[in-house]
Amino acid sequence: MRRGFLFYSQLAFTLLVCTFLILPVILSVMAGLTVNYFQGLSSGLTLRWIGEVWSLYSETIFLSLWIAATCLAVNLVIGVPAAYVLARTGGRLARVLEELIVLPVAIPGLAIALALIVTYGGVPDFRTNWSFILVGHVLYTLPFMVRSVLAVLHSVNFRELEEGAASLGATFRQRFCNVVLPNVKPGILAGALMTFTLSIGEFNLTWMLHTPVTKTLPVGLADSYASMRLEVASAYTLIFFIMIVPLLIAMQMMSRKR
């Protein structure tokens, strides 16, 4: 096909959209590394703001990593078996259950957080513990793990594989661990990446669920946007990008392989 005016105008449009998405990220990275953003790059580059963020907010970074890791662990322990059960059950019941399990994604985090607060907010040791945030994150990410594993289970014929193993005398435990799990590994991996990434960036639920002693990275970000100078807020955002971009790239690579 000859590349005429139409091709180049569409290309220009797409590049413009891309600029809209990427330019602010570049601005933010720059602002986090310049001595004085309002004077521009001529004021020089510095890591001072990064250092300042580290001394002010490093705890939020560790808490977010910790919550994301435990959230992932919980999802693996409860989500993978649940997906298997849904795939094994099949039929109408499984569809209804799946519909129920994805509800927390369809309902705004704010509403779920309010529901958790009015129900469990009165339990003081729970309310001020990081596990209160963990509960919200598990609810929000579980559907992604379940769906991701379910999608793979539906695409590999695991029943036949299991029947084969069973006819050779494999017990249920052996079949689940040696036949089902290895076959759904891509789904578990994709779900795990998604879970971890979403948990690190979750704000809508977390803002309502957090307390002064349980602040996650996005909560700290909101705090710095409201009260810190632009350079510090940008440096903090830069740290967040450095954490999340490798995860996003890994997710893109996985979805391309499929």
Please report, as residue ranges, which positions from 109 to 128 form the binding site for other proteins (by CB under 8 A).
109-112, 114-116, 118-120
Helices (H) and strands (E) in the chain, counts: 15, 0
Please report, as residue ranges, which positions from 38 to 67 form the binding site for other proteins (by CB under 8 A).
38
Tokens for 91?
């039929």
What is the number of other CB atoms lying within 10 angstroms of the CB of residue 214?
Answer: 21
Q: Which residues contact 68 (CB under 8 A, 6 or more apart)?
A: 137, 195, 196, 199, 200
User: Residue 211 forms beta bridges with which residues?
Assistant: 214
Tokens for 190?
């994709």
The SS3 of residue 230 is: helix
Question: Is there binding between residue 70 and other proteins (CB under 8 A)?
Answer: no
Q: Which of the stretches 45-53, 61-69, 183-191, 240-248 binds other proteins when contact is defined by CB under 8 A?
A: 240-248
Q: Which of 22, 41, 96, 123 binds other proteins (CB under 8 A)?
A: 22
Task: Tell me the helix, strand and coil percentages in the chain, rounded to 5.
Answer: 85, 0, 15
| Closest to other proteins by CB, 46 or 222 | 222
Q: Which of 2, 5, 6, 227 binds other proteins (CB under 8 A)?
A: 6
What is the number of other CB atoms lying within 10 angstroms of the CB of residue 239?
Answer: 21
Shortest spacing between CB 246 and other proteins, in angstroms: 12
Please report, as residue ranges, which positions from 139 to 198 form the binding site for other proteins (by CB under 8 A).
139, 142, 144, 146-147, 159, 162-164, 166-167, 172, 175, 194, 197-198
Q: Which residues contact 231 (CB under 8 A, 6 or more apart)?
A: 31, 32, 34, 35, 36, 37, 49
Please report, as residue ranges, which positions from 198 to 237 form the binding site for other proteins (by CB under 8 A).
198, 201-204, 207-208, 218, 221-222, 225-226, 230, 233-234, 237
Q: Which of the stretches 12-20, 43-51, 54-62, 182-190 binds other proteins when contact is defined by CB under 8 A?
A: 12-20
| Closest to other proteins by CB, 47 or 249 | 249
User: Residue 214 forms beta bridges with which residues?
Assistant: 211
Shortest spacing between CB 54 and other proteins, in angstroms: 18
- Tell me how far apart the alpha carbons of residues 117 and 135 are, in angstroms, rounded to a whole number: 11
Instruction: Return the closest-CA partner of residue 35 out of 48, 23, 50, 26.
Output: 48
Q: How many residues bind other proteins (CB under 8 A)?
A: 91
Shortest spacing between CB 47 and other proteins, in angstroms: 20
Q: Which of the stretches 30-38, 53-61, 65-73, 181-189 binds other proteins when contact is defined by CB under 8 A?
A: 30-38
